[in-house]
Chain A
Amino acid sequence: MSDLTLQRQAKRKLNGKFIRNQVFSWALVLPAILFLCLFTFYPMGNLVHLSLYRGNITNPYKTFRGIENYLDILVRRPQFMTTLKNTALYVCMYVPICLSLSVIFAVWLQKARKINNFAQTCFFAPHLVATISSAFMWSWIFSPESSGIANGIIKVFGFNTHNWLGSSSTAMVCVMIMNTWASIGHHALIFLSALKSIPGEVYEAAELDSSSAVKTFFKITLPLLSPQIFLMLITMTTNSFKIFESVRQMTGGGPGISTKTVCMFIYDNAFETNNTLGLAGASSIVLTIILMLITLLDFKGLEKKVHYQ
């Protein structure tokens, strides 16, 4: 065989290998891309399309309205803005409270005590219960009659019974308490696993440096948890913006529309009232844009403060 044929053979072999590699890589990512297109990008495009029309489920594209739907929800009719405000209020209560409680809880669980395994299980269990069932249970707890546990408790302390879910000042708080209860174990577990990866000597060094427990928490533990806190902040914010079942079950959006959330507004327009599918579509698009903006802001504003190992 001449040098040339050898070279050519080598080249062909190389080419064959290159092509095989390419085919293999594409084969691996193709299913994911397919799913993404089918269930994310296509519906997304469809949604934009939908939001420009007036129609219902059976006939979504009855009449073209252009940006009229957007003007309706953002300017002409106040209901969307009210639900957006309700939702934002909920997020502003839920995220900081749930986040700080789960960090504190994780720090408490960190010490290897017998009771902690038990407590961990107890706090995690609600996460396994369907939201709708939890919401149902908490509706009983906050029941307006004196049979409700909450009312039972405050009566012991000599206060009058209160219509927890029926008053606009407490209804959203009750929903928040229920959701915190349901998710705190899960969040704490994530923080706990991060805490367990911090070497014990760092804490011992802090002890020798006469650092108080509070100072150790703020100066050492919290900065070391910052990647997890950042991640949880973003997922909790976006998830709680989409709150739906628990409110629907516990308050039904009431009293009035004082606890009605954006997703409930979308649902109602899509499936309950006639010829408002386009409004639902436009609201969904606005919600998506808001969530994107918040995530972007989080990244821009906070990522520099996050300490990655």
Chain B
Amino acid sequence: MAEIRFEKVCKFFDKARIIEDLDLTIQDGKFTVLVGASGCGKTTLLRMIAGIGPATSGHIYMDGKEITDVAPSKRDIAMVFQNYAIYPTMTVRENIEFGLKNKKVPKAEREALIKEYAEIVGLTEYLDRKPGTLSGGQRQRIALARAMVKKPAVFLMDEPLSNLDAKLRVQMRTELIELHNRLKTTFVYVTHDQVEAMSMADVIVLMNKGQIMQEASPEDIYNDPNNVFTAQFIGTPPMNIVDMPDGNKMGFRPEKVKMSDVPVQGCYCHKGEILTREMLGSETLYKIDCGEYTFMVKTDKPDFAMGEKVFIHVANEHLYFFDAEGQRIRKTDGENQYAQLLQNAGGMSNV
């Protein structure tokens, strides 16, 4: 049980400012997922929580107690490293057992734990093998078991499923969710995979260049993005963004666009020509050339053909507005301003 709080935390590597003035609270007992582009500082953040890559300045608190300078071993934290970092000279069993032995867990209990977690990650038959003779995915599962078995207060996972095949990944995902439900401890999980983030998270923390772009539940981060970056990062394909004549930006999700053969009044509507068509099964993805912009559209209507002339239209409630810096303008920021934006959007229609 632990809440982690960052206060004005900075991390520099020599001159490179990776993280600056970061404030973040990771809630106790929640499954928090960190997402962000490669190199944005996710691993750096985890390492600061673990205490193995200390912050350059600022404070980190765990349950209100400052842990900025506390040794990693005193933090009750387990971590799955991005590149596994398993002990190469030890067998799978010894790898899993090492932390338990150091904590003086009695032998019988150790045996039971190893058996249980080897079962969970599916490594029972490999317990006496050396990591060098195992595949990448199997090694990754050693790292998972080694961290899980310690039952820590905070569980850090740096892309722990990246090397597993689709089936195993889904299986491990369920295991982790179950584990979280069972242990009710704080999980911090890093991933590149949006689907993974959306499906597992209680809270998603979206990072970009060392900054937190948004911290919210999966629903909110999808339905109510704070800025253009979030709007475009979450959701596949990303949100369509259009520059408005007044300097603001307008956005709408590909899956909220409707297509028709005739123009529609009273909302944003634009004529266009279908460039490509991808059939995804239940849905179809169209790329539509609308003159200045090309829009992505995802709909359940498969019967438009390539080269066909169509009209796309988006209902007012599915339009998002952002200012010139990319920050969201909401209805609650001013009714009049919002009405004006909607009117401007309608004015951009071209039929």
Contact = CB atoms under 8 A, between A and B. Distances in A.
Interface stretch (A88-96, A168-176, A208-216, A242-250): A208-216
A204 B88 contact: no
Contacts of B35: none
A199 interface: yes
Interface of A: 199, 201-202, 204-212, 215, 219-220, 223-224, 226, 307, 309
A199 B85 contact: yes
B90 A219 contact: yes
Interface in B112-129: none
Contacts of B71: 207
Nearest to A225: B89
A304 to B, nearest CB: 13
21 contacts: A202-B85, A202-B88, A204-B52, A204-B81, A205-B87, A206-B87, A206-B98, A207-B72, A207-B73, A208-B50, A209-B146, A210-B73, A210-B99, A210-B103, A211-B102, A219-B98, A220-B87, A223-B90, A224-B88, A307-B88, A309-B132
Contacts, number: 65
A201 B87 contact: no
A104 to B, nearest CB: 19
B197 interface: no
Contacts of B47: 204
A305 to B, nearest CB: 10
Indicate the member of B89, B98, B99, B102 with the most A CB atoms within 10 Å. Answer: B89
A208 B46 CA distance: 13
A309 B85 CA distance: 14
B157 to A, nearest CB: 13
B69 to A, nearest CB: 14
Contacts of A202: 85-88
A114 B79 CA distance: 31
B145 to A, nearest CB: 13
A210 B85 contact: no
Contacts of A215: 102
Contacts of B146: 205, 209
B190 interface: no
Interface in B87-104: 87-90, 98-99, 102-103
Given A204-B52, A204-B81, 11 more contacts: A201-B83, A202-B85, A202-B88, A204-B85, A205-B79, A205-B81, A211-B99, A219-B90, A224-B88, A309-B88, A309-B132
Interface centre among B77, B81, B87 (most CB of A within 10 A): B87
Contacts of A210: 73, 99, 102-103
Tell me which of A202, A208, A226 has the highest count of chain B C-beta atoms within 10 A of its own C-beta: A208
Contacts of B77: 208
B153 interface: no
B52 A220 contact: no
Contacts of A219: 87, 90, 98
A211 to B, nearest CB: 5
Given A210-B73, A309-B132, A205 B102 contact: no
Interface in B36-62: 47, 50, 52
A9 to B, nearest CB: 48
A209 B102 contact: yes
From B47, B79, B103, residue with most partner A Cβ within 10 Å = B79
A223 B85 contact: no
A209 B88 contact: no
B256 to A, nearest CB: 44
Contacts of B148: none
A115 B86 CA distance: 31
B78 interface: yes
B98 to A, nearest CB: 5
A285 B202 CA distance: 77
A134 to B, nearest CB: 37
B189 to A, nearest CB: 17
Contact of B52 (A208, A223, A224, A309): A208
Nearest to A224: B89
